[in-house]
Structure 1
C-alpha cells in the first residue's frame, strides 16, 4: 500500500500540490451553484423562469470567461489572471449574497460566472507548465479526485448551511475562494513560458484564431463534444426517466451519489491502469464503457439497476477524465496553452448547454428507449472517432515535443525591425 501511494503521489513538483490544495479548498466551499435555484425560488421568491434566466446567465458569463481567461493567461500570465479572477470572484460572491433586487442578482451572477470560469484555463495551463508529460495522467487523476471529494463534501455542507441561514452559503463560498486566492498570491510563481527570441526582420504569429484553425485539435474537440452531451444526461434526462418509473427524487440523489463515491474510492488507481497505453485507445474504450452504462438505462426500472448503470458509466468517466486532460495538454503549444485550455473549457460549456436540449427533445418526441440507446450509438461513434484520429494526434504531439513548440517565422516588411515581445506561436 505504501508503494502504491508513493507511485500515485510521489515525484510531483511542489507547485502542483499548491494547485491541488487550492482546488480541494475551493471545491469544499462550492455551495452557491448547487443551491442557487432553490435559493432564488425559496428565499428570494423569484419564479422558476426567473431562476432559470439567472442560472443561464451564469453559464453565459462562464462561456465568455473561459475564452477571455485563456487569452489573458497567455498574454498577462497564469498567475495574474488567476489572482484577478479569484479575488474578484470572492468579492462578487459576497455581493450576490447581499443582493436583493432581480437586476442586481442578474448582474452579479453573470459577472460571477465570468470570473469564476476565467480562472480555469489559467489554472490548467499552469498545471501543464509545472508537470512533465510523463506525470500528467497521474497529476490530472489526483486533481480530478480532489474535485470530486470536495464536491461531495460541499453538497453535504451546503445543505447544513442552508438550513441555518442562506447567507452562509455565500459567505463560506466567498471565504474558500479568498483562501485559494491568498494561497495563489503567496505560494504560486508565474509559469508562463517565455516566447522564443527570433531574429530581426521576423515575427511570430498566433492567437485564438490559430487554435480554431488547428484541425487536429478541433477534430478532437468535436469528437469530445458528443461524449460530453451523453455524460451530461445524468443531470437532465436521467432524473426524469427515474421519476417516470415511480422513483423519488431522494432515490435519484442516492443513485447519482454512487458516481462520486466510486471516483473518490477508485480514481487514484487509474494512472497505473492506463499509464502505458495509447491515449486514443484509452479514450475509445472509455467512450464505449460510458455508452454501455447510459445505454442500459433503457432497460432499467428499479433503483438497483439504475445504480448499476451509474457504476458502469462512472468507470468510463474515470478512464476518460485524466486521459482527456492529458491529451489536450499534449496538443497545446506552450505559448498558447491558455487559449487551448479556454477553448476546451468552452467545449464543456457548450456540451452542458446542449445536453438537456437535445436529450429533452429526444425523450419527448422519440421516447426513453430511443434516448438511451441513442446515447450508446453516439458513444460508439465517439469511440471510432478517437481510433481514427488518434494517429494524427500522436504525430502532432511528437512534433511539438521534438520541436519544443518553436515558432514558425515569417519575414516582415523592411520597415518593421522588431517583433512583438509577447506574440504567440502559429500552429498549422
Structure 2
C-alpha cells in the first residue's frame, strides 16, 4: 500500500465516530501516557531501593492479583453504579494510591500499596469497554476498539521513553507524574464523558440465552454463558502467548548472549508496527469475517512465537516480533468486538469484567510458565509450547464460531434499538455542554516511539 493509500485508510478509519467516543479515547491516551509504575516497578525496587529480585517478583504478583480481583468487582460496579462513576472512582483511587506508593519505605507497606494500585488501575477497563460499546454503533465497534488499542500502545510507547529519562533523575517524580496524568484523565471523564449505561433496553444474550429484565443479568449468569466463557478461555490462551513477548523473550535473548538494549531494539518493532499499521488496517478488519480474522491472527501469534526457537540474532528476533505483532494487531480489536456481540446490553460491565480477568490471570501465569519451562527444558520448548497453544486456540475459535454469525446478528438486532436510545440520551447533555467546542481529533501520523 502506498503512502497516499495509508493516509486515505487512516482518514477513513477515524471518520464517523461519535464525539463522546473521542473524549473517551482522549482519556485513554492521557492515562497511558502516564504509565510508569507497571513499567518501572521492578527497576525501582531492585536498583533504587535495593530489594532482591524475588521481592520485586512478589510485588509484581500482588499488583497483578489486585487486577484479577478488581476485574469482576469493577464489572459489577459498571452495571450497577454506571460506567462514568466506576471510571472516576477507579482513576481517582489510582492517582492517590500511586502517589502514596512513591513515598512508602517499609517493604510490607510497599507490597500492600502495590496490591491496591493493581486493583485501582485495572478497575476502569471493564467500564471503558462497556461504555465504548454503548456509544458506538454496532457496525463501527471493531474499528472503535482498534482505535482505542492504538491509543493504548501509542501512550505506552511515549510514556516508556519519557519515563526512562525521569527514572534517571527520580523515581518518585515518575510516580507523581503518573498520579497527575491519571487525575487529568479523570477530569476529562468528569467534564466531557456522559453516562451511557442503559436503563431500559431489551436484554438478550447473543449466545442464545434467555431474556432478562434490567436487573436480570448477574455475575452467575455470565459464568453460565457457555459460549461466552469459551471465548474467555480462548482469550486467556491468546494472552498467555502474547505475554511471552515481555517475560519469556528477554530471558531467551539473554541466554543467547544478547543484551537488554538488544531486547529493547527487538521489542520496539512491536510498538512501531502497532502505531503505524493499527489505524490503516482497522477498516480492513471491520469488513472481514471475525471468525477468519481470529483464526488467522491466532496462527500468526502462535507460530510467530514458535519461530523464535530458530532465532539467534537481533535481526532474527525482530523478524519474529513482526510476525506475532501482525497477529496481535488483528486479534485484539476483533476479539473485543466479539465480546460485545456476546454481551447483553444491560450486562456489558459484568461481561467485560470477566473478559478483562482472563488477561489479568494470564499476566500472573505467563511469568511462571516461562520460568518453569526455560529452567527445566530450555527456551526452545517454550516457543514450541506457544506454537501448540496457538494451534489449540485456532481450533477452539473454529469450533466455537461455526454458527456464531447468525447468532450474533440476532443479538445485535435485539439490543441495537436499546443502544440507539442510550446513544441519543448520552448525546443530549454532551451537545449542550460542548456547544462551540471542536471535536478532539486523534494524531493520525505520530512519530513512532520504541515500546519498552
TM superposition score normalised by structure 1: 0.90
- Would the alpha carbon gap of residues 141 and 197 (structure 1) be closer, same or farther in structure 2, given more than 3 Å must change? closer
Tell me the residue number matched to 2:325.
314
Specify which of 95, 104, 117 is matched with residue 112 of structure 1: 117
User: More deviation in 310-319 or 89-98?
Assistant: 89-98
Question: Given the alignment of the two structures, is residue 162 of structure 1 paired with residue 167 of structure 2, yes or no?
Answer: yes
Q: Distance in 1 between matches of 2:153 and 2:182?
A: 17
Q: Cα RMSD over matched residues?
A: 1.9
Tell me the residue number matched to 1:91.
96
Q: Distance in 2 between matches of 1:261 and 1:400?
A: 36
Q: Secondary structure at the match of 1:98?
A: coil
Tell me the residue number matched to 1:411.
none
Q: Which runs of 5+ in 2 are unaligned?
A: 204-212, 419-452
Q: State the shift of 1:368 in Å.
A: 2.7
Q: State the shift of 1:120 in Å.
A: 0.9
4+ long deviations beyond 6 Å: none
Contact 1:216–1:393 under 8 Å retained in 2:
no
Q: Secondary structure at the match of 2:243?
A: helix
Matches within 5 A, 1:238-317: 238-317=249-328
User: More deviation in 353-362 or 141-150?
Assistant: 353-362
Contact 2:10–2:280 under 8 Å retained in 1:
no
Matches within 5 A, 1:191-202: 191-196=196-201
Q: Distance in 1 between matches of 2:170 and 2:375?
A: 38
Question: Given the alignment of the two structures, is residue 323 of structure 1 paired with residue 334 of structure 2, yes or no?
Answer: yes
Question: Given the alignment of the two structures, is residue 402 of structure 1 paired with residue 413 of structure 2, yes or no?
Answer: yes
Q: Which runs of 5+ in 1 are unaligned?
A: 408-428
Tell me the residue number matched to 2:150.
145
Query: When the two structures are aligned, how many residues end up with a matched partner?
Result: 404
Contact 2:202–2:414 under 8 Å retained in 1:
no
Tell me the residue number matched to 2:400.
389
Q: Secondary structure at the match of 2:168?
A: helix
Specify which of 240, 247, 251 is matched with residue 229 of structure 1: 240
Q: State the shift of 1:104 in Å.
A: 2.3
- Would the alpha carbon gap of residues 131 and 406 (structure 1) be closer, same or farther in structure 2, given more than 3 Å must change? closer
Q: Secondary structure at the match of 2:402?
A: helix
- Would the alpha carbon gap of residues 335 and 301 (structure 1) be closer, same or farther in structure 2, given more than 3 Å must change? same
Contact 1:333–1:405 under 8 Å retained in 2:
no
Contact 1:290–1:317 under 8 Å retained in 2:
yes
User: More deviation in 354-363 or 254-263?
Assistant: 354-363
| Greater Rg by CA | 1
Q: State the shift of 1:392 in Å.
A: 3.8
Question: Given the alignment of the two structures, is residue 28 of structure 1 paired with residue 33 of structure 2, yes or no?
Answer: yes
Q: State the shift of 1:149 in Å.
A: 0.9
Tell me the residue number matched to 1:425.
none
Question: Given the alignment of the two structures, is residue 182 of structure 1 paired with residue 193 of structure 2, yes or no?
Answer: no
Q: After superposition, what is the alpha-carbon deviation per residue over 1:315-335, rounded to whole angstroms, capped at 9, x for unaligned? A: 111111110111111111111
- Would the alpha carbon gap of residues 277 and 203 (structure 1) be closer, same or farther in structure 2, given more than 3 Å must change? closer
Contact 1:23–1:143 under 8 Å retained in 2:
yes
